[in-house]
Amino acid sequence: MKTFNLANFFTNAVLHNEARHKINLQADGAVLLDRNELPFELPQLLKDEIHAALGDVLLNRYPKPHNADLERLIAQYADVQPDHILATAGAGAAITTIFNAFADRYFVIPEPSFSLFDYHCRMNELKCIHWQLDDNYRYTFELFPNISEPAVIVIDSPNNPTGQCIEPALLQTLLEKYRFCLFVIDEVYFEFSGTTFKDLVDEYDNIIIVRSFSKAFGLAALRAGYLIASSKLLGHLRKLILPFSLNGYASQILSVILSNNQYLQLIQERVDDVVLYRDVLSTELERIGGELGFEIPASHANFVLLVFSSIGAGEKIYAKLLENNIHVLPVSPHVADRYLLRISVGTERENRKVLETMRSCM
């Protein structure tokens, strides 16, 4: 008699690898600098307005499958035409939809880059080619792989975990040479860099830009984001988005924030604060990096990357931070014998604690 066998349904990668996000038990009072979250809560006045607006959400009804009013507000914020916007249940969900939609194509993925890209390729056994960043963790044309057939070229700018952006001239070169490819540009951290390629959507119909409300807006709990692309491309992607996936509460909260210029100004001020804190943190880390054995690529996001020249040196710092209840993220290195630690920018107090802890290792 034939019996049920998981191997007949799951890929080997799913069966033999751990989940991407393991349960992480954190002690009370932990300094959470491992997920690139905004370190500030929403002001109480905004919370009160949100709570009042949520009373209008009908819990017995599904949300709008296509919330055109919300997408108009997003388009106004993003400074694009409304037909260039597709609201999604977070950037991660949008990326998953894109990888599922084009699973029969090759994917070109930077190395290192956002771990979700490589995760999808491994778990679903997709065809993947890595684009190695150079020794300074920059995108370069010289290291771009040879592509001769339609492929999905994924670029995160700013890159996660390096924080570096692709140069506009380099992206333009790639777009011209590989017009037969689809470009997916992850701009989840663009507010912290001031660099965006949204205007290229009017010139090229093979670009999808992915954005999130989790980072600069400080709305990670909502799981909301959006895509920017040509109306024709979004028309097909909309068919693949799970209906009602952006829940009614998330839509209502976004509508409250995006329709109020005072709140949008507050968000920009907080982004400016994070950029200032990032630059101060980077400067202070550079001063001790030589003695502790690490370098820092210039970051244009809300985090910094520590590149240790030896695994032992990196593990020592990571262990010391954990010992002091500071949670940061070890990143798989793309170069042997290096150890990478990504540290999210926190409040001034949290950043000081990081620096004090690391100085104690000197």
Distance CA 257, CA 73 (A): 10
Q: With CA atoms as reference, report the closest residue to 166 among 176, 175, 156.
A: 156
| Residue with the two structure tokens 């950037």 | 91
Distance CA 306, CA 361 (A): 15
* Residues 6 or more apart in contact with residue 36 via CB below 8 angstroms: 160, 189, 215, 301, 302, 303, 342, 344
Query: What dihedral do alpha carbons 197, 202, 203, 204 form, nearest 10°?
Result: 80
| CA–centroid distance for 100 within its chain | 18
pTM for this one?
0.93
Give me the average pLDDT of each 10-residue run along the chain (362 residues).
Answer: 87 78 64 95 92 92 91 98 96 94 94 91 91 94 95 97 97 97 98 97 96 97 96 94 91 96 95 98 96 96 96 94 95 78 97 97 90
* Other Cβ atoms closer than 10 A to 195: 16
Residue ranges and CATH numbers for the domains of the chain are: 6-42+263-359 (3.90.1150.10), 58-260 (3.40.640.10)
Q: What is the pLDDT of residue 205?
A: 94
Distance CA 93, CA 109 (A): 18
DSSP 234-245: HHHHHTTSPTT-
Distance CA 230, CA 334 (A): 34
CA distances from 248 to 67, 221, 314 (A): 10, 14, 44
Evaluate whether 244 touches 62 at the Cβ level (below 8 Å): yes
* Residues 6 or more apart in contact with residue 213 via CB below 8 angstroms: 219, 222, 224, 225, 226, 254
Q: What is the pLDDT of residue 24?
A: 57
Q: What is the pLDDT of residue 25?
A: 54
Q: What is the pLDDT of residue 66?
A: 86
Q: With CA atoms as reference, report the closest residue to 258 among 107, 139, 85, 34.
A: 85
Q: What pairing do the DSSP bridges indicate for beta strands 151-156 and 182-186?
A: parallel
Q: What is the pLDDT of residue 266?
A: 95
